[in-house]
Amino acid sequence: MPRTRASASHLFVPRKSSRAQQRAARADIGKARRQARLAEAPPRRAVKDAFDPELRPTYPLSGRPGPGSARGGKLRLPAHRLTTATVSGAYPFLAEGGLGAEGIFIGRDVHAEAAFCYDPFALYSSGRIEGFTNPNAVLAGIIGMGKSALAKSIATRAIAHGYRVYVPCDPKGEWTAVAQALGGYTIALGPGLPGRLNPLDAPARAASVREEEWATEVRKRRLLLLAGLAGTVLKRDLLPMEHTALDLALDLVVAEAEMNGTVPLLGQIAHTLGSPLRLDHALGDQSGRMGPAAQDLAHALRRLVHGDLSGMFDAPSTVTFDPSTPMLTIDLSRLGGAGDDTALVLAMTCASAWMESALADPDGGRRWVIYDEAWRVMRHVGLLERMQSQWKLSRGLGIANLMVIHRLSDLLSAGDAGSRGRVLAEGLLADCSTRIIYRQEPDQLGAAASLLGLTGVETQAVSALTKGRGLWKVAGRSFITQHTLHPAERQLFDTDSRMR
């Protein structure tokens, strides 16, 4: 059937037709109706005359002509300005310029696809990073993520930059091979070993310090050491009379050693504490009160003389500290088990006091001090106090402290909230301008975010980190860095050989 044409006055669709013909007929009908409406409408000029021309101008269907048209014209909006701090918060890890090319090569910045270098001494000296107030760092990560390899890589490459490295506590003996490969040496301490360290050795006096001032400083360090050792064994703070007994015993032993041309020893301190008549005579009080006050101290120090640590710290030192050596490590792998760290802590306290003789030298140059497996000593207030003193004096001594732990919650194990141990542990973290976080377990993300002030994006990134990849927070700036190892370093740092 041919297509049916319809006018605007008489429109119909034949019933007997196919669907296609019906659709075509309806389209013709709609077109005819539109043409009829246009024919019956008044002219456009008449519409314009019906209104005030100034109030109701007419425009073509394409819109207002000229530069004011909203179609195809160029909008000139003012530029939006904001600080880089706001941009970094809105777009973390993007458009980051890095820390510069000066320093130790670490690896690859994952987001910037550029080399990542780090040198705390250069960053502090230049002042380029606002808020970078100290060269100390903390490194946290679960087992198997490569944090030990990173610590050893930093130490190895720091030596190539002219720095020296000290490891005052190596509880697993992993640093011995590294020190030997770099031309350094290791002091192994333990029952039956020939190594001896006298923690009461006086450090060399700097030329700029007067002899009287230096004698006062040495005496203060020795008292701090003795109080720390006694407090670790007794597991409590010392009483005022016990501090007095330590003062008297130390002065008596030092005076006797100077007369004989020898050095004071811990065994002599313990013996003097067990002689109440000498203490009473030195105090000028014959009431006999010093004997009971010094009784616990004498028994506490006896462990270093006749107990499981005998022979290691109660004799003159058999080794001398060579400040020119590139690396010095103290192997304590033969001391203490996983259940009781008291022997390890006592040995580390004595070794740290002995090593401070070199750290106190202002002409010793810039040095790294690495505390590996620091989580094992977080429960001992005496050692935390020594570490805090070293953290606070890092800028004056020219040292960068690196504390290696497994979880950030290890800092919370130092004691209850508000306790002396917890305050010291949190203070160590606060005095670290560099925080390096490797992957954490899901149940540890909350503690890590709270202690470090991580954002939601950073917390999510930490939970998904792979081996060798860590979040670096340097004075508030964040980087995701993939640590790069040389094949020789990989073989030297390998700690999983027994597992394979």
Mean pLDDT, range 374-389, rounded to an integer: 78
Mean pLDDT of the chain: 80
**pLDDT at residue number 4:** 44
Handedness of CA 217, 222, 223, 225 (dihedral sign): positive
User: Is residue 81 scored above 90 in pLDDT?
Assistant: no
User: Is residue 50 scored above 80 in pLDDT?
Assistant: no
Query: Do 48 and 138 fall within a single domain?
Result: no
Query: Do 50 and 95 fall within a single domain?
Result: no
Q: How confident is the model at residue 189 (pLDDT cuts 50, 70, 90)?
A: confident
Indicate whether 214 belongs to any domain. Answer: no
CATH code of the domain containing 116: 3.40.50.300
Domain span holding position 498: 85-163+366-500
**pLDDT at residue number 57:** 55
Indicate whether 433 belongs to any domain. Answer: yes
Phi, psi (degrees; rounded to nearest 5) at 109: -75, 115
Q: Which one-letter DSSP state was computed for residue 496?
A: -
Query: What is the maximum span of the chain, computed from C-alpha positions, in angstroms?
Result: 138
Mean pLDDT, range 354-380, rounded to an integer: 77
Mean pLDDT, range 374-385, rounded to an integer: 77
User: Is residue 346 scored above 90 in pLDDT?
Assistant: no
Q: Assign 21 to helix, strand or coil.
A: helix
Q: How confident is the model at residue 379 (pLDDT cuts 50, 70, 90)?
A: confident
Q: Which of 96-100, 152-156, 447-451 has the highest mean pLDDT?
A: 152-156
452-498: pLDDT as tens digits: 888 888 888 888 899 999 999 998 888 999 999 999 998 888 766 54
Query: What would you report as the CA-atom Rg of the chain, rounded to the nearest whole angstrom?
Result: 39
Indicate whether 111 belongs to any domain. Answer: yes
**pLDDT at residue number 370:** 93
As a whole-number percent, the residues of the chain with pLDDT over 90 amount to: 18
Residue (of 343, 351, 393, 373) closest to 172 by Cα position: 373
Residue 116 near residue 479, CB atoms below 8 Å: yes
The reply to whether the predicted model has a pTM over 0.75 is no
Query: Do 476 and 420 fall within a single domain?
Result: yes
**pLDDT at residue number 163:** 92
Residue 166 near residue 369, CB atoms below 8 Å: yes
Query: Do 377 and 494 fall within a single domain?
Result: yes
**pLDDT at residue number 496:** 60
**pLDDT at residue number 149:** 92
Indicate whether 17 belongs to any domain. Answer: yes
Min mean pLDDT across 40-44, 145-149, 179-183 is at 40-44
How many domains does the chain divide into? Answer: 2
Residue (of 199, 236, 191, 246) closest to 218 by Cα position: 199
Indicate whether 340 belongs to any domain. Answer: no
Query: Do 36 and 146 fall within a single domain?
Result: no
Phi, psi (degrees; rounded to nearest 5) at 107: 170, -135
User: Is residue 235 scored above 70 in pLDDT?
Assistant: yes
Indicate whether 329 belongs to any domain. Answer: no
Residue 166 near residue 322, CB atoms below 8 Å: no
105-152: pLDDT as tens digits: 999 998 888 899 999 998 888 877 888 889 999 999 888 888 999 999
Q: Assign 146 to helix, strand or coil.
A: coil
